[in-house]
Amino acid sequence: MTRREFAAAAAGATLARGAGKRPNIVLFLADDLGWADVSCFGSRDIRTPNVDAMARGGVRFPRYYCNAPECTPTRTALLTGRYQQRVGGMECAIGVGNVGRYDDAEWLQKRGELGLPATETTFAKILRRSGYDTACFGKWHLGYSEKFRPSQHGFDEYVAILGGNADYFTHREEDGTLTLYKNDKPLDRKGYATDIFADEAIAWLKRRGGKPFFLYVPFTAPHTPIQDPDGFDSKTGTAPVQQKNRKIYAKMVERLDARMGDVLHQLRAMGQEENTIVLFLSDNGGDPNGDNGPLRGRKSSLWEGGIRVPLVMRWPGHLPEDRTNTQVTLSMDLAPTLLHAAAVPAPSGVRFDGMDVLDIAAGKREPQKRTVFWRYKRMGNVRKAVREGDVKLVIDNGEEELHDLAHDEREEHNLLPGAAGDAARLKKLLAAWEVDVMAPRLRPFRPGPG
């Protein structure tokens, strides 16, 4: 342990002694789950009793946004607490087989640098340095190479799908490559992916001692391929792929919910339920298999349906029960929020873009107006958005729309050109943000913003 790590751990221990026992953290992340794909957010055809019970015992955030409309960038922001643009090359999902899907990512891929560098500080690293046990069981999607894996980002143990799209039973990508790994070694294990991740999480919990822990469970479900959890065919070694089959998709979500329930049951059996912060969220809006309810757009778009997703947070005795909080919240807010809850300070020099929303969630402060930004790139697509208060500007491949979300949540009424002044002001803010978040590692390739 370095001097800095020792100092951070000592400071965390001092804060913990002053604040009482440090809480455990369990973070469940669904993959491509739509706004209306859980009961407590309006689903009428999918039953999610465990997510619903979390919501009754905690706080729902109907204005929670992912930092991007796809997997990799949101996961980058979630773990680092910063805009993913600061990392460089992580503005869209890394393609199957470690493929860069836009110019910055392609440039990094050719140099063997496509992934989340170990030089980045994740909140898992900070928690581990302060004395937490840490583990990741699920989908990683932040780089295939060993230097980008969970073991380099603060996780003591992991079992993970490295890429973004693997068969639920063979755990192989389309070209047959096995992408299920355990602690940096390939793992050829039979079973449905959701069950494997839940079983690993439960087994890990059973091995815990007296230290606080952070358990990260980023399920692959209900991302494609759409496969029946109970549809395994011994002749093929997998289950048929049934894209756009809503009934099978519903079974995938319900299996995810049931296995979350098993993990939560283990917490209760350990006597740790009251001392554990539990979160449930999705990495982006639903694809054509999912349901984004009244919201416009879907995965890969910056309309509300592409970036607004369910968030539920429960912490018995610290957060109110059965409440809705209207704070505009992003993926990158969870890192500073959870570190605050754990009484763990960020190391010197680490600055988050995310906002600590713990006191707002607890009802100690009113929701705050804020200005937040998005930029998404894939192939020739460049999409940008800024939300200032309730006003949102979207620039979709050069086409501009302005909406007042307080009165037009569905984004049906474009206020342009009648509000050209507002649009110009927001574009100026967006341009300044793009300069601010320029990634140092891209400077040899892209010296300017954009």
Of the listed 40, 92, 136, 141, which one is catalytic?
141
Question: What residues contact residue 49 under an 8 Å CB cut-off, 6+ apart?
Answer: 39, 257, 261
Q: Please determine, looking at this structure, whether the domain spanning 372-442 carries the CATH number 3.30.1120.10.
A: yes
Residue-wise pLDDT for 217-275, tens only, equals: 999 999 999 999 999 999 999 999 999 999 999 999 999 999 999 999 999 999 999 99
Q: Is 71 a catalytic residue?
A: yes
Rounded to whole angstroms, how far apart are CA atoms 102 and 331? 23
Say what the alpha-carbon torsion angle 411, 414, 419, 422 is, to the nearest 10 degrees.
Answer: 40
Q: From its phi and psi, is residue 32 left (phi > 0), alpha (psi between -120 and 50) or beta? A: left
**Topology of domain 3-370, CATH:** Alkaline Phosphatase, subunit A (3.40.720)
Closest CA to 339 of 141, 123, 159: 123
DSSP assignments along 398-439, one per residue: TEEEEEETTT-TT-----TTTTHHHHHHHHHHHHHHHHHT--
Q: Rounded to whole angstroms, what are the CA distances from 264 to 53, 171, 268, 272? A: 11, 25, 6, 9
Predicted structure pTM score? 0.94
Phi, psi of 79 (to 5 degrees): -80, -30
Residue 245 is predicted with a pLDDT of 97
Q: Between 49-56 and 246-269, two packed helices, what is the crossing angle to 10 degrees?
A: 50
Residue 9 is predicted with a pLDDT of 44
Q: Is 141 a catalytic residue?
A: yes
Please check whether residue 300 is in contact with residue 320, taking contact to mean a CB–CB distance below 8 angstroms: no
Rounded to whole angstroms, how far apart are CA atoms 128 and 135? 10
- Which pair of structure tokens corresponds to residue 38? 């859980």
Residues of the chain with pLDDT under 70: 1-20
Rounded to whole angstroms, how far apart are CA atoms 81 and 308? 18
Residue 10 is predicted with a pLDDT of 43
Domain boundaries, the chain: 3-370, 372-442
Question: 391-396 and 399-404 as β-strands: parallel, antiparallel, unpaired?
Answer: antiparallel
Of the listed 40, 71, 92, 136, which one is catalytic?
71
Name the maximum alpha-carbon separation found in the chain.
64
Residue 450 is predicted with a pLDDT of 78
